[in-house]
Structure formats: structure tokens, C-alpha cells
Structure 1
Amino acid sequence: MKDETKNFVLFAVIAALILFGWPLVQSRFFPTANPPATKMVDGKNKPVANPAADPTADAPAAIRSRQVVLAETPRVAIDTPALKGSINLKGARLDDLVLTRYKETVAKDSPPIRLFSPAGTPDAYFASFGWRDAGLAPPAADTVWTASARVLTPRSPVTLTAANGKGQTFAIEIAVDNDYLFTVKQTVANAGTAPVPVAAYGLVNRIGVSKDPDSWTIHTGPMSVSNGAAHYNPNFTDVDKAPTSFTTTGGWLGFTDKYWLAALVPDQTRAFDGQFRAGANNAYQADFTSAAQLLPPGRQVTQTAKMFAGAKEVKLLDRYTDTGAVVKLDYAIDWGWFRLVEKPIFYYLDWLFRLIGNFGVAIIILTLTIRALVFPIAQRQFASMAAMRALQPKMKAIQERYKDDKQRQQQEIMALYKAEKVNPLAGCLPTLIQIPIFYALYKALMLTIEMRHQPFILWIKDLSAPDPATILNLFGYIPITLPHFLTIGVVPVLLGISMFFQFRLNPQQMDPTQQQVFAILPWVLMFVMAPFAVGLQIYWITTNCVSIAQQKFLYSRHPQLKEAAAK
């Protein structure tokens, strides 16, 4: 009895450590979910406002309002099916870009996602292309370029031109496709009397770090592909300490957020130097410079680069990669170690969504599909569990008989397994299979923009966010802010209930301490899982329900297993 009490106290301590210490581990290694898209106020489901969606001049980081800055310089409009914005003719900057397919919140009147914003505004973020000033005298940063058209569309590129008054003229032709890929041709014509060195560059500059946390499982911040490999380092902290540079032929570099990417893609046939560096006023820059080439008089040279600026849609990134437009652009999504499992699961889930029109239902069907595939293995698992429980009295007798001889004890137990034709490891296989699948779904819910703001039913408006219907503040009727570990919604409670009934159907544990552990474990896991995405909880609830049905089916087919386990 004393040992049982000691074991139970130890388990209670471990459970407390899980409840209170898990959020710290979670935030570093397994970010739980997107910020809630909705919240309960007086029992009603309301969209969560995004204060960064429309910054004003009163914001701490603001210098001037965006509307004022945009009106200060001549501009060329950008108008595509996926993008709206403008090009700043002063300095030839792409510094005004919104993604029309995506909104800041789930509210109907929510503004679209803004990716680029001009210098001098909150969250300034822009791209620029030019030439290094090393014997060339390119146009200055305040040069106002001349545009060939007033609007850039997928069917009508725009060419910006300028001259330096020393015999060289400069042209930047900008084209864009129907999605997020810009093509930039930089041309220098030398009408002077002497050769000039030409080295093209491109840069992406942003103020501040990503609003999405950088974690062990999900990278945000500087990213590059060089020398045939994707690199998720350095992070912003590393760049603060010292610049990071590399040389490669083929590849790209830029800044990635969870769902958005701005990436420079230099000429893939020429070597270039890439660099990440930090500047004044919390600025960060990714830039490339191509090797200089000497341009003789009477000749011109054109260097072509690309830039991706938009949403990290899985199929779109794969298409750009497969067609050779951008090498390894699909690695902008940090799939991690289980990439070979995660992408097929995502594609199947996305196909189900296109077929059905509801991601929650698609997750349920995905779960049923997986359970159907592992059904024979699961049945063997349940049979093995019951057989193991039936052997508990004999095993206990062996342990008592050879309690002073551990080696003989193990030999006798293994002989018992062999005689009874029981494999103690048979029940582990389905669990091992489920681990990469569960993790793959976690990554898909966390990483892919296709899951963002996808509703299920009733109050669940975003499957990639936690359940907003928190019970302990009476669904918002009590205006209190709950601690992180107490934000328990309806779906996590359903998860705890499903786990409780699943454990109840398992054969009874022989050890009373183990019985107490399994009685408490579902409710501990309920708290642990509460901050995770609702979609992940739906997967687990469906898995539990299917497991319960399978166990009932097994016992109906083989009642002797349940009787043996009960004895």
C-alpha cells in the first residue's frame, strides 16, 4: 500500500509538471496554433480584431500614415488577380503590395493582407533593384524614374528608365504573372567613350522581426537556398550580431513568415553573393550582388532576376519549383523531417476539401481513411492487449517466485510469452504508425495557408486556431482573462471524454496505481491539447471514436478475450 501511494503521488507530481511546464516546452518546440480568429463575448462568436491591420500615425512605430507616404511620390499601379499596390518611381521600389486573396481576420469587412509598405510607415517592407556604384554611377536612390505605362498587369509589363548624364542609360523592365512571381530585367546601355563595370543587385528590406514566432518546428525570418540546399538559419538574432553571407550559383534568399514570403531570385546561371544584415532602426535586409562584368562602349547588357512576393500556397510553390522557375521554392514551407509523409497527407486532405467544401469534414474522412488502412494492425493490437492482460496473474506469480533473481524472472516471463504465443510489442506498431501521421497533420494545420481561417461548424471559424468557446469564463459572459492552461474549450472537453471512454474499454489494469493513472490521464491530456488547433483535436476525437468502435467489434467477435482479461 505504501508503494502504491508513493507511485500515485509521483504521478500526480508528473501531471502537475505537464500542466504547468508544458506551455514553456510548447512555445519553443511545438507552437500550439494560430492566434484565435474569433472570441466569445456574451456567448456570441465575434471576430478578433487585428490592431496591426491598419496602423495609424499614432502607432509607436509610425512616422507618417501610409496614405500620406503613398501620395508623396509618383507611382505605377499594380493590378493582378492576386495583388494590388504600386511601384514607387522615386528610387524604383516595389513598396506597396497587398494580397487580395487573403484577409487579416475572418470578419467580412476585414482588409486584405498587406505584405509591402513604404519606408517611413509602420512595418515598412519593400524591394528594390539596381546597380552597384563602383565606377558606373547608377541612378541615385532619390532618382525619379520614367515609366512606360501607368499600370502593371500580367499582360502588360512596365519599363522604368533613367540616365546618369555620363553616357549610360538604365532600364528596369518589371513583369508579373497571375500569382506572385515578378520578373525583373535590368539593362544598362553604354553610349559613353569608355567601358564601365556593371554589377546588378536586388534587395528586400523590412522593419522589425516577423510577428510569427520562430521555433524549433516552424522557421520564420531570414531564409535562403544556396549550393543546392535550403537553409533556415540565420535567424533575426544571429543577424543582429553579425552579417551572414554566402556565394552560390542558383538559389534565392529573403524573409519568410508563417504564411508569407518575399524572396529574391537572381539569375540562376550566374554566380552571386548573398547577404543578410541588420541596419539602423530595427531594419533587416536580404540582398544579392552579381559578379561585375565590363561593358564596352556602344554595347548593352541585360541581367534577369525574379522575385516572389506573396502567400506560400503549397501547390503554387510546387509548380514554380517543378517548372524550374525557382529552385527549391517549395522548401519555403518548413515541412521538416517528415516531409515525405506530410506532403502526401496535405495533398489528400486538400483534395478532400475541394471535393467536400469543409476542412473539418475532410479531416474526419482523412482519419477514417488512415484507420481503415491500419485496421488489421489495430485489430492485432487490441487482441494482443487483451491477451497480455489475461497473462497478468501468471506474470505476477513468476515475479513473486523469482523476486530475488531478476535474470531468471525475465527468462521465465519470455518463456511464458512463447508458450502463450503472445508478442508484448505487437501493440506498439499502430501507435508508432500514428506518430508521424499525427505530427504530419500538426504541421499541415500549422504551416499551410490553405488551413488558415477555414471554418468547421457552429462557433468554429478557424480550424488552425484553438477552440474559442472557453468554458471556464462561461463562453465570454464573465469578462476575465484565463491563464493559458485554463483556456479549455468545448472541443478539448469532448477530446477528454472520448479518451476516458476509450481507456474504459481497455482491459482492466492489474496494478491499482496504474488504474488511477489511466483514470486521470485523459483529463491531463485534455489540458495539454486545449491550446492546439481545433483541427488536430477533431482528428484525435475521431481516432478515439473509431478505436472504441473497433474494440467493441473485436469483443463482439471474440468475447473470450474480454472474459479472459476480466479474470
Structure 2
Amino acid sequence: MDNQNKNLILAVALSMLVILAWSFFFPPPEPTPEQIAETAPNSQTATGDTASVPTAATGTDAPTAATAQPTVNAPRINVESSVVEGTISLLGGRIDELKLKNYRQDLKEGSDIVQLLKPTSEDGAYYALYGWAPGAGLSTELVPGPNTIWEIESGETLTPDSPITLKWQNGAGLVFRREVGLDENFMFSVKQSVQNNGTGTVSLAPYGTIARHGEPADLKNFFILHEGAIRHVGGELTETDYDDFESARNHEEYPVGEKGWAGFTDHYWMTTLIVDQPDAEISAFKDTSRNIFQTTAKHKTETLAPGQSAEVSSRLFAGAKEWETIRNYQDDSGVPKFLDSIDWGWFFFITKPMFWLLHHLHAFLGNMGWAIIGLTFIIKLLLFPLAYKSYASMAKMKELQPQMEKIKEQAGDDRQKVQQEMMALYKKEKVNPAAGCLPILLQIPIFFSLYKVIFVTLELRHAPWIGWIKDLSAPDTSSIFNLFGIFPWAAPEPGTIMALVFIGILPLLLGITMWLQQKLNPAPSDPIQQQIFGWMPWVFMFMLGSFASGLVIYWIANNTITFTQQYLIMRSHGYKPDVFGNIRSGFKRVSKDKE
């Protein structure tokens, strides 16, 4: 392989090294105490106030109730299913307490269940509420809003088999009802209705809102992951970071189109309003005075004469971003492009089918670690035709190594003559020195796509493999520091300098497999390049020690399969690599030097 092609591979490898180094040395910043304090609700919001809701009828903001009752004093209705538990407050009919029963904060024994929604009495309040914005003939006090105290008309506990109905009368002839249902997973159904029993015509508009008091305390702020507002309206997906929210007084409203959805997405969890009415509008904005982020779905204004009624139905997804669950909502429940709520990244055309295959391998093998290894086998099988040509070319290059060295000796410092005679040799022997570059280049998007899949998908979170590997989305917890668990002291915390130095078993295996694979490739003619390539396996070994175990397992499997393929193919073309003989020779030289 000539210097030009060696430089190409070197540039690609160094680019990957720069990206890995950046991820390690410049991780997402931890929130400071000041930032955490900013995200906590202030005394005003803790008493039950919420961000104001745009009014469809007037185009102005509905005022916030001045004398809100504390959320903790309002009656509550229990919510219970096989996957969630929580309560609904009769203050505003808020869905404001929801826990995900199948997920825990960490792997420690007795760890708390993940809590998604929180009432305003807690830090980081996060909830969904519904109401009606007043139009002609009505004032704010005559429509149900964030602080209306509802009464229970039917139902005691909200379960998949028993919906509940709330009722409120405004004392001026309007009777409001809200029926809330829940399926077996994370989808709430909300039907809002109003009956005009008064003597005058009124106008009013139903809305649904998701409000979040401050940024989440566990915000990752990592460049490959979107956290913040997300919406799919008019056939287009839009993501908005918390830093980019428009103000409450200066924001746009987007027509839903035929169907749409909008809300907030975290790393693994999501809360979204799902609207099926084409005349609805969706907006996202921030109340900067109280640091409240809000997503609102506003339905068309209803004008009701005496005796008339109106109703509108919508849905609320509040739960885990499980691929299969979200796919079923998309395919079976008509939520358009709902799988795009998972951040698949720029290489979505690779990450989506890659996770689809990984998901089904997991279903077949019963373990995500073995599924990653199975995925590696399939990827290598698909790339085998290219790999075969590449390794056959490398075998030929290895055979031509003596002739190439002879050309360099004869030409001396005349680089032009070296290049000319090298090209003549390649042409004569029908060797393509660039044949080995394509498989390497194809591995780059595959590697980053798998990195994306492992980082963003919930299915890898807390997924065990074997022995000490309890979480494939986290770094290897073993360490040379305690001789991989033989000594009684604990291993360094992942992400620390100590953890970088005292690597675990998986990074060590990665370095060894990279080094073995490198021994089969033609050595660069340039001494400096030889040194860089020689150090590269060990540099990558330390750099990848802080990466997710699932990614390291993929790379180890990929290196092992590549080494085996390359070794067998090169032997079948007449070249017999003596990798292990070189290792023995190296040990003998070391022993001789010591003597």
C-alpha cells in the first residue's frame, strides 16, 4: 500500500481518535448548584400557579389565577396499571404524579422507581393539565383552568379497565366534564366536553398543556442527544433545545395538519400531547419570569348557543421510550412518525434498521450482549464480499513487500522514481493498493451508528450480559486496580482519571484484538507512521475504556471476526502470516536483552 493510501487510513484513524478524545476530556458539564437552584420552582409556582395558556378566541394570554390553592391540599385520584402508578389532582384535574414501575434510578439494591411527572409541591414540577380558554361572553372565572377544583362524577381509581369522569359547573349555565382513560402501557385518553344550559351564546376553546418548571436536573447536554421540546406537525419533525425556547409573549403557533404530536423528550422518557384534529395548533414557549417551559395544543374555538354542547378528544403519552411500544402506537394507533421521537441521528438510515435487527436478535437470543455479538456477525457477513477483496489484496501486498523494499533501496531519495516503479509493480501484479480502504471507511458510519443506538435507546439501559457486566450502556466496571475483583477494594468510579488508567477487562481485550489484527496488515514504509500505527491499539484501549460496554463488546467481536477472516483469506491466497511466531520472537528478544 503506497503512502497516499496509508495517509488516508491514518487520517481516518486520527479523526476517530480526536472524536473519542473530545468525548472523554470534554464530557457534558455537571450542573452547578446555582443552575440547579434556577431550575427549582420559586415560591409562586410552588403554590399551584402554572404558565398561562394562549386563548384561541382572543389571541391573548389567559391570566393565571391570583389565589391558587396549594396542590398538596387538593383531593387526588389514584392511577394504577401494570407499568405505571401515580395520582391525578382535582386541582385543575392535573395529571401530575406518575412513576414508571418497571424502571429504577440505578442498579443499586432498593433504588427508587423512576418518577416522570411531579406536582408543583416538589422541585422540578412536571405535569399535564387541560382546560378551556374563554372567548366572547365569558371571563376567566367562568371556564375551568389550572386551579379549578373539580369533583368526581364517576370512577374511583383510574385503571386500564376503569376510566374516571370529572365534572365542574361554573354557576352560569355551563357544565364541563372531563373523561380520562388509560391503556395497558403509557397512553392516557382525555375527552373534554361542555354543555351550555344557560341563556346566552358563548365562545370558548379547549386546550391541553404540558408544563415543566425549569430544566430537568439530570439534563445530559450531550451533543449526540436531543433533550427538550419535540413536535411533529404538518409532516415535519422539529426539535427545540431548552436554550432555544421562544418567550411566552413572542412565539409561533403551528397547524397540526391531519394529525400531530408535541411535548418534551428526555434521554429515556417522554411526555407528549397527541392531537387528531386538523384544526388544532401547537406551540412551545417559555415563561421567562418563572422559568416554566410549556407545550400547548390549542383546539378551535367552539361557539355554543343555549342547549348546545361540544366535545374534543386527545391523547397524552407519558412514559418510557420503548421501541416496540412506540412502534405499536405509530402503526396500530395512528400516531404519525412516532418512532422519530427516538433520536436516531444523522445516520438514521443505518441506526433504524440496525436497532430493528438488534431488537429481534435480542428477542431470539434473550440477552442484549449476545444480540450485539450476533449483530456484529451479520454486519461482517454483509461486508464479506468487500472484505474478501481487501484481504486478498493485502495478502498480495505482503508477498510483494520484499520487491517494494528493493525498489526503495535502488531509488534512494528519488520519491518520484519510487512512486513510478511502485505503480508499475502494482499494474504488473494486478494489485489495487486502495482495496483495503473501503471496508475501513464503511466501518466508520457503522461504528458511530451503533454508538448512537447504544447511547440513546432505552433497551440497552441496565441490560446485563455476563458476570460483572450488569449494564451494557455503562462502562466496564472491572479494573486492573483491584485485579479484576480479586482484591477487596472497589474499582475507580467510571469517568475518573483513575478509571482511565486502571482499565477493565473489556478495554484490555479490545487492545489485544486490535494489535493482533494490525499484525496482519502491511506495515507502513514511513517510520513515523509505523510508530503511530504501533501505538494506536493501546491508545484506543485506554480511550474506549470509558465508553459503553456494549460498544466495546461490538468492537472486540468485530476485531476477532476480522482477524479470523483476514488470516484464513490470506492463507488461501498463498501468504502464511506468522502472527504468533512474531509474538514468540518478541518475547525471545526481550529475554535476550535482559540477559
**Which interval holds the TM-score relative to the shorter structure?**
0.7 to 0.9
Counterpart residue number, 1:47 = none
Distance in 1 of aligned mates of 2:24 and 2:523: 34
Counterpart residue number, 2:193 = 187
Counterpart residue number, 1:542 = 557
Question: How far is 1:347 from its partner?
Answer: 2.1
Distance in 1 of aligned mates of 2:419 and 2:470: 54
Question: How far is 1:162 from its partner?
Answer: 0.1
Distance in 1 of aligned mates of 2:501 and 2:246: 36
Q: Residue 279 and residue 149 in structure 1: after superposition, are their counterparts in 2 closer, same or farther (change >3 A)?
A: farther
Distance in 2 of aligned mates of 1:99 and 1:456: 23
> Which of the numbers 131, 137, 143 marks the counterpart of 1:138?
143
How many pairs were matched up?
523
Q: Residue 519 and residue 412 in structure 1: after superposition, are their counterparts in 2 closer, same or farther (change >3 A)?
A: closer
Q: Residue 479 and residue 79 in structure 1: after superposition, are their counterparts in 2 closer, same or farther (change >3 A)?
A: closer
Q: Residue 428 and residue 246 in structure 1: after superposition, are their counterparts in 2 closer, same or farther (change >3 A)?
A: farther
Bigger RCO of structures 1 and 2 (CA < 8 A, at least 6 apart) = 1
Question: How far is 1:405 from its partner?
Answer: 8.3
Counterpart residue number, 2:588 = none
Counterpart residue number, 1:91 = 92
SS at match of 1:81: coil
> Which of the numbers 523, 531, 544 marks the counterpart of 1:529?
544
Counterpart residue number, 2:489 = 477
Distance in 2 of aligned mates of 1:324 and 1:423: 53
Which structure 1 residue ranges, 5 or more long, are not aligned?
Answer: 1-6, 36-54
Equivalent residue runs for 1:236-251 within 5 Å: 236-239=242-245, 244-248=251-255, 249=257, 250-251=259-260
Which structure 2 residue ranges, 5 or more long, are not aligned?
Answer: 1-6, 31-35, 48-69, 583-595
SS at match of 2:264: strand
Question: How far is 1:399 from its partner?
Answer: 10
Percent identity between matched residues is 39
Distance in 1 of aligned mates of 2:302 and 2:490: 69
Question: How far is 1:372 from its partner?
Answer: 2.5
> Which of the numbers 358, 375, 378 marks the counterpart of 1:369?
378
* Aligned AA (1:151): T
Equivalent residue runs for 1:368-517 within 5 Å: 368-391=377-400, 397=407, 401=411, 413-472=422-481, 477=489, 482-483=496-497, 485-486=500-501, 488-517=503-532
Equivalent residue runs for 1:313-352 within 5 Å: 313-352=322-361
Question: How far is 1:554 from its partner?
Answer: 2.3
Question: How far is 1:561 from its partner?
Answer: 6.4
What TM-score, normalized by structure 1, do the two folds share? Answer: 0.83
Structure 2 residue 29 is matched with structure 1 residue 22:
no
CA contact (8 A) 2:229 2:284 kept: no
Distance in 1 of aligned mates of 2:132 and 2:560: 63
Which deviations, in whole Å up to 9, do the C-alpha atoms of 1:231-265 show, x marking residues without a partner? 11x21111277754332123111110011000012
Q: Residue 325 and residue 356 in structure 1: after superposition, are their counterparts in 2 closer, same or farther (change >3 A)?
A: same
Question: How far is 1:152 from its partner?
Answer: 0.9
Distance in 2 of aligned mates of 1:470 and 1:539: 20
Counterpart residue number, 2:307 = 298
Distance in 1 of aligned mates of 2:321 and 2:174: 39
CA contact (8 A) 1:18 1:528 kept: no
* Aligned AA (1:187): S
Distance in 1 of aligned mates of 2:571 and 2:401: 22
Distance in 2 of aligned mates of 1:392 and 1:479: 46
> Which of the numbers 150, 154, 160 marks the counterpart of 2:160?
154
SS at match of 1:90: coil
Equivalent residue runs for 1:166-315 within 5 Å: 166-210=172-216, 211-232=218-239, 234-239=240-245, 244-248=251-255, 249=257, 250-315=259-324
Distance in 2 of aligned mates of 1:115 and 1:20: 32
What TM-score, normalized by structure 2, do the two folds share? Answer: 0.80
SS at match of 2:134: coil
CA contact (8 A) 1:487 1:531 kept: no
CA contact (8 A) 2:91 2:147 kept: yes
**More displaced 10-residue stretch of structure 1: 481-490 or 87-96:** 481-490
Counterpart residue number, 2:63 = none
SS at match of 1:559: coil
* Aligned AA (1:374): L
* Aligned AA (2:507): P
* Aligned AA (1:530): G
Distance in 1 of aligned mates of 2:165 and 2:20: 59
Distance in 1 of aligned mates of 2:478 and 2:265: 31
Q: Residue 130 and residue 369 in structure 1: after superposition, are their counterparts in 2 closer, same or farther (change >3 A)?
A: same
**More displaced 10-residue stretch of structure 1: 138-147 or 328-337:** 138-147
* Aligned AA (1:138): V
Q: Residue 410 and residue 501 in structure 1: after superposition, are their counterparts in 2 closer, same or farther (change >3 A)?
A: closer
Counterpart residue number, 2:107 = 106
